Amino acid sequence: MKIAAVQMVSGASLEANLDSARRLIAQAAAEGARLVALPEYFCFMGRTDSDKLAIAEHPGDGAIQSMLAEAAARHGVWLVGGTLPLRSPDPQRVLNSCCVYAPDGAPAARYDKIHLFRFERESGGVRESYDEGRAILAGTGPVACDADGLRVGLSVCYDLRFPELYRVLMAPPCDLLCVPSAFTYTTGQAHWELLLRARAVENQCYVLAPAQGGRHENGRRTWGHSMIVDPWGEVLAVRPEGEGVVLAELDAARIAEVRSQLPALTHRRL
């Protein structure tokens, strides 16, 4: 199966972002992708943390979810819809949700981001400060789904730093781990590729990592480098910055070969 990671530089206009996503999904499908993944918050990168409250949708209803379902059906692809804000029990916070749609447009899975990013640093007189918990309510459990016989494990951005999540997703083993993200430039430059390749190697499966990549209207700069990594940790495709699509072939035989040559998953004791 050919898989695709979409890279975007989303802004504060919901409609403009949805238009860009439609175009890039169409591009990926035209290039043969059967599974397409969008980045975290592909639909909206507001000027403040609380801006996302205004566009939050009820589960199963809303313009963002409708666009994803329609795009999946129009192009006949499995669509991992990055993330979007869904209403939560807390009126001051949203769920950061990854919704998956089948090729007929039917909802296939939903994962609410569990680990919430917090980072503070001052360097050269410039201060960076992020705290997702101010506007996001954490999810409660891991989610995997089936896509044409492939087991796909779902995760989002900061989840990448928590290998225990992926160990839970590997029971039974996944063929593909999806990591839609919006890594900051600072943390991405230091750790993004390192962590993605580690998750691929230790779980002996493909990793699909669509990302935000560029300078956004709100002044934030994201690292980009959307990539696809194979079960041996080899980077098959990468896009450093700017919107676009990266594609690679997910080969089930390659997964079986790596797991046969080095049966690390069967050697686990904890």
130-187 tens-digit pLDDT = 899 999 999 999 999 999 999 999 999 999 999 999 999 999 999 999 999 999 999 9
pLDDT tier, 128 (very low <50, low <70, confident <90, very high otherwise): confident
pLDDT score recorded for residue 130 = 81
pLDDT tier, 270 (very low <50, low <70, confident <90, very high otherwise): confident
Going along the chain from its start, the domains and CATH numbers come out as 2-267 (3.60.110.10)
The verdict on whether 2 is a catalytic residue reads: no
Percent helix, strand, coil in the chain (nearest 5)? 30, 30, 35
pLDDT at 126 over 80: no
pLDDT at 49 over 90: no
Q: Which residue has the tokens 């918990």?
A: 133
156: buried, middle or exposed (CB in 10 Å: 19+, 13-18, 0-12)? buried
151: buried, middle or exposed (CB in 10 Å: 19+, 13-18, 0-12)? middle
pLDDT score recorded for residue 41 = 97
In sequence order, the 6+-apart residues with CB closer than 8 A to the CB of 202 are 163, 166, 264
Taking a C-beta distance cutoff of 8 angstroms, is the pair 207, 177 a contact?
A: yes
Q: Name the percent of the chain lying above pLDDT 70.
A: 99
Q: Name the percent of the chain lying above pLDDT 90.
A: 92
Phi-psi region of 140 (alpha: psi -120 to 50; beta: other; left: phi over 0): alpha
Q: Which residue has the tokens 């300078």?
A: 215
* Lookup: tokens for 168: 């839970």
* Across 81-85, 117-121, 139-143, least confident range: 117-121
pLDDT tier, 66 (very low <50, low <70, confident <90, very high otherwise): very high
Question: Which residue out of 98, 157, 178, 205 is catalytically annotated?
Answer: 157
Amino acid identity at 50: S
Q: What backbone phi and psi angles, to 5 degrees, belong to 68?
A: -65, -45
Per DSSP, the three-state class of 172 is coil
pLDDT at 1 over 80: yes
In sequence order, the 6+-apart residues with CB closer than 8 A to the CB of 44 are 10, 12, 14, 17, 51, 52, 55, 84, 85
pLDDT tier, 84 (very low <50, low <70, confident <90, very high otherwise): very high
Question: Which residue out of 57, 98, 113, 132 is catalytically annotated?
Answer: 113
pLDDT tier, 127 (very low <50, low <70, confident <90, very high otherwise): confident
Taking a C-beta distance cutoff of 8 angstroms, is the pair 30, 74 a contact?
A: no
Structure confidence by residue, pLDDT tens digits, 202-250: 999 999 999 999 999 999 999 999 999 999 999 999 999 999 999 999 9
* Lookup: tokens for 245: 């699509």
Question: Among 202, 211, 270, which residue's Cα sits nearest to residue 243?
Answer: 211
Q: Which residue has the higher pLDDT, 183 or 270?
A: 183
In sequence order, the 6+-apart residues with CB closer than 8 A to the CB of 270 are none
The verdict on whether 157 is a catalytic residue reads: yes
In sequence order, the 6+-apart residues with CB closer than 8 A to the CB of 190 are none
pLDDT tier, 87 (very low <50, low <70, confident <90, very high otherwise): very high
pLDDT score recorded for residue 163 = 98
pLDDT score recorded for residue 122 = 73
pLDDT score recorded for residue 86 = 98
Amino acid identity at 85: P
Query: Over the chain, what is the mean pLDDT?
Result: 96
Beta pairing class for 94-101 and 84-87: antiparallel
138: buried, middle or exposed (CB in 10 Å: 19+, 13-18, 0-12)? middle
The verdict on whether 99 is a catalytic residue reads: no
